[in-house]
Amino acid sequence: MSAERAFSSVRVRSLAESQAVAVQVRLPGGSRMELTPGQASITGRMLAEGTHRRTWRQIAEESESLGMAISAFGGLETIGVSIDALARDWERALEWAAELVLESAFPQDRFEWLVEQNSAELQSMADQPEIKTGWEFLEQLYHPHPRSRPVQGTLEGLARLDREACDGFWRQSLSKGAVVTIAGGVGSEDRVQARAEALFGRRTRGHPDERVALPRGSDEAFREVSIAGADQAHFYAGHLTIPRADPDLPALQISSVILGSGSVLSGRIPQRVREREGLAYAATADAVAGAGLDPGRLVVYLGTAPESLQQAESCVRQEIDRLVSRGVSGREVEEARSYLIGREPFRRETAHQWAELLAAAELYGEPVDQPEWSRNRWLAASRDSVETAVRKHLHPSRLKITVGLPS
């Protein structure tokens, strides 16, 4: 049985010189809305496992014969399908996306295999010391919110899942509306828009049902994870900050670049910990990591020698303290702002990036696809507003720390 025709919103961007096309269909209802850990991940991935017209193998053979790359996914906020293809195949890609998202069949056999694969992937990820430690850190910060666990779920959750629960999750997600975005060398936007609306239905998108547990975090200020056979220690420090919709976001993004979220090593944390003191190879910091519908987080990550851990932690605490108590210089704000504005064209280079931006614009109700909108927000953030946002949202005394130590 096919699902009922979904509500949809369609956004198209024609890119004159592009030889590629990206089609994305996103349904609100990622892991933040799931009832069982892993439900969103499996549901999303099941979209490429068979429709009422094609088996998984036909989907694979026919799409690969066109060089199409299909990715069916279940993320934190949405599930859906992303197709990257050559521009000449835009219509086929759109038809495929519609078939996968609207006519998914959820075959039992494929469900069972996908659960097994997902479980194996989780176990594989747990072999990466920084990931294993990072999971504990998320739990420490976000408990009992779904972000406190891996988006892929947990072994226990996956073992409890059944096909019907995933089928139901898909139907529920579909009922909240589909966000369809198409970008690339597609020629006439009107023609593509019309074709997409014919496939997905021209209706107003519904509102996601909000029933998400609030993140509280655990009471522990320090957590230690044992990593068998490792050489390095993995250090995470931070706390929850603000969601994407918070008006302080642009100011906090500027402070984040000053702290170390830029694309190079010029932030205060990487400069101090890596470049000056030589304590780590990997040293990153972000004040709004993962900010979306739910709060993002301040997170500092270091991969360091176990014997350097104390010194590294002390550096991190001092730098965060310094940021909050002594503020930022005018030059730092200017350069961080210039960095953020300067990176905007790089978010619009490929068809895939455009499709993602258009989807974000629709899902968050923000015109992020228009460079001027972001630029003006950063230009409006003064040194004072950056310091105010830092004092309001960054709290050295509330830092939670997770350390992965070789056992």
Q: Could you tell me the smallest distance in angstroms from the CB atom of residue 383 to other proteins?
A: 16
Contact window for other proteins (CB under 8 A) among 14-22, 206-214, 236-244, 247-255:
14-22
Q: 122 burial class (0-12, 13-18, 19+ CB within 10 angstroms)?
A: buried
User: CA nearest 26: which of 178, 174, 167?
Assistant: 178
**Does residue 17 bind other proteins (CB under 8 A)?**
yes
Rg of the chain in Å (alpha carbons): 22
Task: Work out which of 5, 52, 53, 124 binds other proteins, going by CB under 8 A.
Answer: 124
Distance CA 191, CA 204 (A): 20
User: According to CB under 8 A, which residues from 237 to 266 bind other proteins?
Assistant: 257, 262-266
Angle between helix axes 330-343 and 371-380 (nearest 10 degrees) is 170
**292-321: which residues touch other proteins (CB under 8 A)?**
303-305
CB 10 within 8 A of CB 193: yes
* Token digits of residue 68: 């199409």
* 276 touches other proteins (CB under 8 A): yes
Q: How does strand 69-74 pair with strand 233-240? A: unpaired
Q: Does 343 bind other proteins (CB under 8 A)?
A: yes
Which range binds other proteins by CB under 8 A, 124-132, 167-175, 198-206, 217-225? 124-132
By beta-carbon proximity to other proteins, the closer residue of 196 and 273 is 273
Of 33, 40, 82, 84, the one binding other proteins (CB under 8 A) is 84
Which of 4, 52, 53, 128: binder of other proteins (CB under 8 A)? 128
Nearer to other proteins, 57 or 207 (CB): 57
Among 23, 47, 87, 324, binds other proteins (CB under 8 A): 87
Q: Which residues have C-beta within 8 Å of that of residue 74, sequence separation ≥ 6?
A: 30, 31, 40, 41, 42, 43, 44, 45, 151
Residue 156 in contact with other proteins, rule: CB under 8 A: no
Q: How wide is the angle at C-alpha 247 spanned by C-alphas 210 and 78, nearest 5°? A: 35
CB of 190 to other proteins, least distance (A): 18
Among 207, 345, 365, 397, binds other proteins (CB under 8 A): 345
